[in-house]
Structure 1
């Protein structure tokens, strides 16, 4: 078979042989080119140039026939050329777990044949009983299905940008609707109670919880804090990196979630005094260990030897702290059964302390822009979306204050 064949008035088909498959059948790659923009007497010469380029692409494994490539083949390319180089290890691992469901269901479909109906059928399948891998009954939650949809849409957007397809079929599918729930958090009374209970807690974890309640940091940001980030004189703390742990990678330092996550926040005197107290304690631990202390690190929260702390150990301690307290209350015979409810703490995870910090600030009348910057959100809309319930309460309170203000003035005038 000729490597260059004229197929029409101005088109040529290029054929490159690239070995044999397992059945001994010859493998060929084809490409049709339109040379209508080239003068007729120069078209063959141009076709020969294009063939050399095409042959080089095929031999280097750079050529993919966009008309024949399956969704799975494109996902493999997306992982290799983009995801593995650009995404954080934890994000990449999470995406690969989602792809474990996506590829078996949709991977065999030609990329340019993938339709919105395929995606709708896939999402409906995820809602069916028996799809879960944890043994629980029922299908996946709408939030988890939404994660699948967003990943598929992101991959297909890349396929459009790389000119493999003309448009993104996921953009024509209504995204799974997730019911907005109020972010789990402690109220002011329970937060004050927690701070009292922490008086007898190990100083490392006491300091960590105080920092998160007053600073609203993400767990990785808290674990990644260094002493060089603390300005004791001006009572400021700089957040510019994060610690993350991923199975297979270990614990490592990375940049914060986004550019706006790099921020400087103010902390009250109470927290800064506790930090000083904790620093003295840590210096004492360094002295005890001597040369065994890993002095190359500057992290505030460390292992016993001064190495970077596993971030999950902080959240794990807090979970045990809540559980142990509640169990103690339930076993305390000196407290009547009816009164025990007042002393029990809500089952809120460590991330709930970040929500607690933000919710309390909003309910105390702090403007959303300030709260958003403190949290390190990329957009204020993210803050308003997460804390819509708290904002509604604050708005109700504002309306009540206005009513009280003007009604009291009107009452005064009538009395006069």
Structure 2
């Protein structure tokens, strides 16, 4: 039920309704005419009858997003994924402080996306444009929460709909991995210098040979290595932020056993012997039984690993990629060699096969072209075989 009151030159509308046997009120003022106030009241009474929660939209967007994250996301996410959401929470706190959920317009949200991708300069210092992928990750998380708010009847419209992200373009996909020739050169360069002083080279070699993520490589312990079966078991990861202990893998599928070559097994076995001798000489304990414990008693961080990789790549004349690019190189090389995409997906520990297909669609398309050529050749040969058989029978008559 609605009531209306004129205050000065404007009208105020008040709606009353019952929710869970409790009477609720929603009031809005500032209407120029009574007809405008009536239109607002009629529209919102219809929303209430359809299950909308008008009061829910009046909460601060920062409070809503935090509660949404705690309820729907935090319980099911790995620590690394939770950190990404916590980053987004910080962004929302900085950009939407004091803003109610039902106040944000599509144009305001688009302005936020524009400013996020292109930060304003501070004290005359230009800020680096954020990457397109960074903008996309923030937008995806916010959009999911807003769509749930619409679904729950807290707001009537999705203010993230039909907005556009921007940012620094990503590197071309072919710049994220090495071709087969450079992968071979890198393998030989890394194998030629395996010792505890250059530990990050062995880390790079393991990633190149297994496709494991940096945190997974850093979290390997000697009980994960089986010389008998030539395998490495990924059952945990290294906490690259805390840098003192293990953390969970990115997703449940990331827990896996990866087959390695006998040669890789031999390298690890020989390195283990060297590590035991060196750590004893340096009087360094290894209570966590880590494979990659440096001569100062710490696990190398990803910055050190990337720096080492950059130097080696420059030395062999290969294009520059990141440590994560070794994972892409591993997968791309296997696709190039015709290995099943489903096996590659399990080897990489992807959450599902569609992730692998999406990430490596560029390689799959290239291989499809090759397979299409093979198919046409095969079909042509089949036709010629049939014709030869028919001609032979006709000749023999």
- 1:143 and 2:133 aligned: yes
Moved more, 184-193 or 166-175: 166-175
Unaligned runs of at least 5 residues, structure 2: 3-15, 24-54, 393-397
**8 Å Cα contact 2:334/2:344 also seen in 1:** yes
Q: Distance in 1 between matches of 2:150 and 2:132?
A: 26
- 1:209 and 2:204 aligned: yes
Q: What's the counterpart of residue 123 of structure 1?
A: 113
Unaligned runs of at least 5 residues, structure 1: 1-6, 9-31, 44-64, 326-342
1:303 pairs with 294, 308, 321, which one? 294
Q: What's the counterpart of residue 104 of structure 2?
A: 114
SS of alignment partner, residue 249 of structure 2: coil
SS of alignment partner, residue 350 of structure 2: coil
- 1:269 and 2:262 aligned: yes
1:185 pairs with 177, 193, 199, which one? 177
**8 Å Cα contact 2:64/2:101 also seen in 1:** yes
1:317 pairs with 301, 308, 311, which one? 308
Change (3 A) 1:139 1:221: closer
Change (3 A) 1:250 1:165: farther
| Cα deviation, residue 400, structure 1 | 1.4
| Cα deviation, residue 269, structure 1 | 1.1
**8 Å Cα contact 1:142/1:176 also seen in 2:** yes
TM-score (norm 1): 0.69
SS of alignment partner, residue 237 of structure 1: strand
2:325 pairs with 347, 352, 360, which one? 352
| Cα deviation, residue 77, structure 1 | 4.8
**8 Å Cα contact 2:335/2:364 also seen in 1:** yes
| Cα deviation, residue 293, structure 1 | 2.3
SS of alignment partner, residue 238 of structure 1: strand
Q: Distance in 1 between matches of 2:191 and 2:321?
A: 20
Count of residues in correspondence between the two structures: 341
Q: Distance in 1 between matches of 2:212 and 2:280?
A: 30
Task: Please give the per-residue CA displacement for 1:163-207, whole angstroms capped at 9, x wherever unaligned.
Answer: 682567256345648978426101111111112222432433443
SS of alignment partner, residue 264 of structure 1: strand
**8 Å Cα contact 1:322/1:345 also seen in 2:** yes
